[in-house]
Amino acid sequence: MMTQIGNDRTTETQFHNRLLVSLVALPVALSASLAVAQTEAASDDLIARGEYVARAAGCMSCHQEDLSGGYQVETPMGTIVASNISPSDQYGIGGYSRDDLERVLRRGVAPDRRLYPAMPYASYRGMTDPDIDALHAWLQDQDPVDEPPEQETDLPFPFNIRTGVMAWNWLYLTDRDLPPADDPVLSRGAYLVNHLGHCGECHTPRNDFFAVQDDSYLSGEEMAGWLAPNLTPDAVTGVGVWSEKDMVDYLRTGFAGNVVQAAGPMADVVRHSTSHLEEGDLVAIAAYLRTLPAITSGVQDIPIIPSEAERANPQHRFSQIRKELVTALARTDLSEPERLYVGHCAACHGVTGQGQPQAFYPPLIQNAALRRTDPTNLLQVLLYGVEPGKLYRAPAMPGFADELGADEIALLANYTRTTFGGRPDSAVTAQDVRLVVSPETEMPAPLRLLQILAWVGLAGAGLVLTLLVWWVVARRQRARTAGGPRS
């Protein structure tokens, strides 16, 4: 009996001890689980923040949504192709540490090569450390694309020697100091425009060595055959009459006030980048742009868009276009420009240019593309149209490059500009159209001279090497002759 009682007490004691250990260990286990959950949540938050940074930085505009690369940037040296930045170990940046990414973003130096300044590291140089941390976490969390872009950068000599970029960096890679601003909205806008969003890389004139001209910052430039317009608040050539709502709507949707639509590379920026930004950031961008010094650029005789008070209010009524088309097509007195317009444009934009805003077919009345003195962007759209999916809900527009000749495209451009755009006259010629189709791109004289000097230097080095080899061979021959057998 006593033995049984002792065993029971031992068992009870062991049970209490185990219970005590469990109670002591429970908070530790819960604390460890909580720490793991907090770490995972922090990691998820960092990755989510990284995606937002990638959107604001426009990564997908050049490197595609899957980060596989392939976008082609035309430069004075040749075509530069955006690389694969997915976390592929073989073809992408899977092996990049956080510090590797920082060197890429701030100095254009990758672990295996130097980057050309078509990658906007001159702007990204001002990115904050937390944004770089988040971007690295997000990039490494994506699915790898284990193949290179279809095309690769292949520049002519000597520009294919990437160490030459060191000279460019020495000359032009400087810190772009942000103007002091006590207003946090303006500070955020300046950071987005000048660094993360790198707006100046496309919208600022460049010199012959592809460096941004800071004295004309954001005053407009032609890139990839498209006009990247003046973003300073000049009333005629820039965005001086744009309201904050115009700017925010344009960045969010690609449309503003039924008078301007994004196309070409800017449509890609809206689709992949600015349409994903928070309202506060879009407001900050608009607010900052309105504080810049106004720069008059180009030859523009009427404002790019009319002010809100001066804008027409084109109305589209059900069946209106069909009825107007029936009437127009029955006419026998249509001029050649009218015939071209009715036959190719009126079914979507209306005989009177009122468009169908509800269906995202924009009105042509007072349209910015028609009001510009420089018709480049209009001709790009008439020739090559607008691809489907460029902007949310926006329908595709067919291009007429294969259907109409250069003379007809010019007639169509002149008719729409004067009939709907509010221009007093228009003198687009067939030659203007042909220049858009086949631009006369010529390497700037300084770069051509540099290329010639490089070839001369290479030829000179080859000649020196040849003479040196000849001298060594001749010297050895003389030595053998002098040391030969004597009679």
- Judge whether 220 and 227 are in contact, CB under 8 Å: yes
**Omega before residue 158 within 30° of 0, cis:** yes
Question: For residues 136, 137, 140 and 141, what is the CA-based torsion angle, rounded to 10 degrees?
Answer: -150
3-state helix, strand, coil in the chain (%, to 5): 50, 5, 45
Residue 319: its pLDDT value, please?
Answer: 75
- Judge whether 227 and 374 are in contact, CB under 8 Å: yes
In 3-state terms, what secondary structure has residue 133? Answer: helix
Residue 196: its pLDDT value, please?
Answer: 96
Residue 189: its pLDDT value, please?
Answer: 95
Tokens coding 294: 């106004």
Alpha carbon separation from 398 to 37, 167, 363, 402, 433 (Å, rounded):
52, 45, 16, 10, 17
User: Closest by alpha carbon to 447, among 164, 46, 60, 173?
Assistant: 164
d(CA 303, CA 301): 7
- Judge whether 412 and 405 are in contact, CB under 8 Å: no
d(CA 198, CA 121): 9
Residue 13: its pLDDT value, please?
Answer: 65
- Judge whether 359 and 316 are in contact, CB under 8 Å: no
User: Closest by alpha carbon to 125, among 109, 97, 105, 101?
Assistant: 105
d(CA 311, CA 366): 7
Alpha carbon separation from 144 to 94, 104, 115, 141 (Å, rounded):
8, 19, 21, 9
Residue 462: its pLDDT value, please?
Answer: 86
Vertex 133 angle, CA 129 and 137, to 5°: 170
End-to-end alpha carbon distance in the chain = 129
Residue 452: its pLDDT value, please?
Answer: 84
Residue 388: its pLDDT value, please?
Answer: 80
DSSP for residue 186: H
Q: Give the torsion sign (CA, 315, 319, 321, 323).
A: negative
Report H helices in 300-439. Answer: 320-330, 336-344, 346-349, 368-371, 376-384, 406-419, 430-437
Report CA 100 to chain centroid distance, whole Å: 22
Bridge partners (DSSP) of residue 81 are: 72
Report CA 484 to chain centroid distance, whole Å: 73
Residues 6+ apart with CB under 8 A from 81: 69, 70, 71, 72, 73, 149, 151, 152, 153
Helix axes 279-289, 184-191, angle to 10 degrees: 90
d(CA 305, CA 300): 11
DSSP for residue 397: B
Alpha carbon separation from 444 to 135, 160, 209, 269, 299 (Å, rounded):
36, 17, 8, 28, 23
Within the chain, how many helices (H) and strands (E) appear?
A: 19, 6
Per-residue pLDDT of the chain (487 residues; tens, 9 = 90+): 555 555 555 666 666 666 666 666 666 655 565 555 555 566 889 999 999 999 999 999 999 999 999 898 888 888 899 999 999 999 999 999 999 999 999 999 999 899 999 999 999 999 999 999 999 999 999 999 999 998 888 888 888 888 888 988 998 888 766 666 689 999 999 999 999 999 999 999 998 888 899 899 999 999 888 999 999 999 999 999 999 999 999 999 999 988 999 999 999 999 999 999 999 999 999 999 999 999 998 788 889 998 888 888 887 777 778 888 888 888 888 899 999 999 999 988 999 998 888 788 889 999 999 999 999 999 999 999 988 877 877 888 899 999 999 999 999 999 999 999 999 999 999 999 999 998 877 777 777 777 788 778 878 888 888 888 888 888 888 877 776 555 4
- How many other CB atoms are there within 10 angstroms of residue 164's CB atom? 15
Vertex 325 angle, CA 320 and 331, to 5°: 135
